[in-house]
Structure 1
């Protein structure tokens, strides 16, 4: 099934060139099914690249997806044009009374700041609380995952002495998890962060389950069923070139582990994680589809929460 996005969103041309089926408004109306309503709160600096990466994965799932791009209400993006933001993004204040089957919150380049020093922290906390009443299932990524664990469970992050950076082998911890269907026992994951959540903190918190981890960079994927949330500390959504762009942007100061062939930045990297990115998002969408109420207005009601 296709993903429904605005006709003139820059991601559309990229996805169509890759063979992803993209649907227009008229085609969507003709299909007698309810599309899953997925919101994307995009906090990354390069909004266009991030929305393309996630739309690519959502568009490969076998269900019709209607994607709503969301931004912080008062925060002004410095790296994406205001024309793009005004044309394609809705401030959270405009969507807060709606319901979503799924809601994705990305990372943000603020991870070394104390949470309360982030300029939009107050609104971010409101959004996390809003997901508990207006969203069926939430997926948080990188900084957003750490921030959600801090808000909901008072788990502190820890600053690293050196950036965790590269394509790192991970192992699955819970073979029976529906979010890990089809995963190999070990798989590669792009990692790019200056902070971490310690395994000991997760183990000491009841109700959380570590689904995947690495001996080098620690926990990767955490299930938080009490909040109907899946927390991903790393970046299975990344493009092949994303880590290279970060490496060259930072002046080549730290070589990403396991990324460039023979550790030679002059050689083009190979994508070894693409399939697992599709698996993760496909499994998350399937979990939503299996449990979300047909009447989207029922999301947030007692019966909808029980079904989750």
Structure 2
């Protein structure tokens, strides 16, 4: 089944060239089915690149997914044309009275910024609080995972001394959990963050199900027991060259970044990197859509109620 996105969204042509089934709004209007409604709060600077990455992963499902894009505020963007934002993105005030099957909150380049110093921190908190009563399942990615843990568990910001950058091996911790259905015992996933997520810390201070961990990168995947909040500390959506672009950017800014771990062939930045995490990324998003969203959401979103979800679901 397809994802439904605005007809003129730049991602449309890219996804079609990759033979991904994308349905236009015009065609979707003739379909007499109940699509999943998923909201993406895009906090990354390069909006078009990020939205395309997430749409690619959301397309790998037999479910029809109706996507809406949300921006955190109306400040001008240095990396995304104003016309694109005005055309394809909504302000929170436009959707706050509606219910959604799923919400994805992306990462943000704020690893060294304290929460209270983030210009939109209070607004982000209000959106995450709103999601408790209006969204079936929320997926927090990278920096958003740390923000979500602060909101839900009042965990303080934990920052590593050095940036974690590269592709790391992870082990599954609960092979029978629906989110891990079909996962290999070990898999690779990229990280690019300063945040620190150790298993011991999350096990001590939360009641989360720890689903996948790395000896080096710590917790990669965790979920509340009702699957209504899922935390991904890495970047399964990244393209093959995304970490390279970040590495080159940091070099150009006069920083001394370490070479991303297990990323370049022979650890040589002159060698083109190859993605080694695509299969797990597609499976993760497919499982989230199926087991955390589709299997739990009410058929009629107007009847959404937080009381419909219990920890035993």
Same fold (TM over 0.5): yes
- Provide the residue aligned with 1:229 in structure 2: 229
- Provide the residue aligned with 2:284 in structure 1: 280
- Provide the residue aligned with 2:265 in structure 1: 261
Native 8 Å contact 1:112 1:159 kept in 2 = yes
CA displacement at 1:26 relative to structure 2: 2.5
Deviations 1:66-109 (A, max 9, x none): 00000113444332111110010001111111110000000111
Structure 1 Cα separation of the partners of residues 18 and 202 of structure 2? 39
1:38 aligns to 2:38 (yes or no): yes
- Which secondary structure state, in structure 2, belongs to the residue aligned with residue 293 of structure 1? coil
Structure 1 Cα separation of the partners of residues 281 and 265 of structure 2? 21
- Provide the residue aligned with 1:271 in structure 2: 275
Native 8 Å contact 1:3 1:23 kept in 2 = yes
- Provide the residue aligned with 2:297 in structure 1: 292
Q: Measured at CA, do residues 19 and 227 of structure 1 come closer, stay the same or move farther in structure 2, by a change above 3 Å? A: closer
Structure 2 Cα separation of the partners of residues 253 and 290 of structure 1? 43
Listed as ranges, the gaps of 5+ residues in structure 2 are none
- Which secondary structure state, in structure 1, belongs to the residue aligned with residue 90 of structure 2? strand
Deviations 1:242-297 (A, max 9, x none): 11111111117320000000011111111110000000000000011111111011
- Which secondary structure state, in structure 1, belongs to the residue aligned with residue 210 of structure 2? strand
Q: Could you say what the CA RMSD is over the residues aligned between the two structures, in angstroms?
A: 1.6
Structure 1 Cα separation of the partners of residues 58 and 206 of structure 2? 31
TM-score, with structure 2 as normaliser: 0.94
- Provide the residue aligned with 2:108 in structure 1: 108
CA displacement at 1:307 relative to structure 2: 9.1
TM-score, with structure 1 as normaliser: 0.96
Native 8 Å contact 1:43 1:71 kept in 2 = yes
- Which secondary structure state, in structure 2, belongs to the residue aligned with residue 250 of structure 1? helix
Deviations 1:156-182 (A, max 9, x none): 232212110001111101111100111
Native 8 Å contact 1:43 1:106 kept in 2 = yes
Q: Measured at CA, do residues 304 and 174 of structure 1 come closer, stay the same or move farther in structure 2, by a change above 3 Å? A: closer
Q: Measured at CA, do residues 105 and 220 of structure 1 come closer, stay the same or move farther in structure 2, by a change above 3 Å? A: same
Structure 2 Cα separation of the partners of residues 76 and 299 of structure 1? 34
- Provide the residue aligned with 1:14 in structure 2: 14
- Provide the residue aligned with 1:210 in structure 2: 210
- Provide the residue aligned with 1:140 in structure 2: 140
1:151 aligns to 2:144 (yes or no): no
Listed as ranges, the gaps of 5+ residues in structure 1 are none
Structure 1 Cα separation of the partners of residues 29 and 74 of structure 2? 33
Deviations 1:186-208 (A, max 9, x none): 10000100121232221113421
Native 8 Å contact 2:226 2:312 kept in 1 = no
Moved over 6 A (4+): none
Native 8 Å contact 1:291 1:307 kept in 2 = no
Q: What is the 5 A alignment of 1:16-95?
A: 16-95=16-95
- Which secondary structure state, in structure 2, belongs to the residue aligned with residue 225 of structure 1? coil
Q: What is the 5 A alignment of 1:179-258?
A: 179-225=179-225, 228-251=228-251, 253-258=257-262
CA displacement at 1:304 relative to structure 2: 5.7
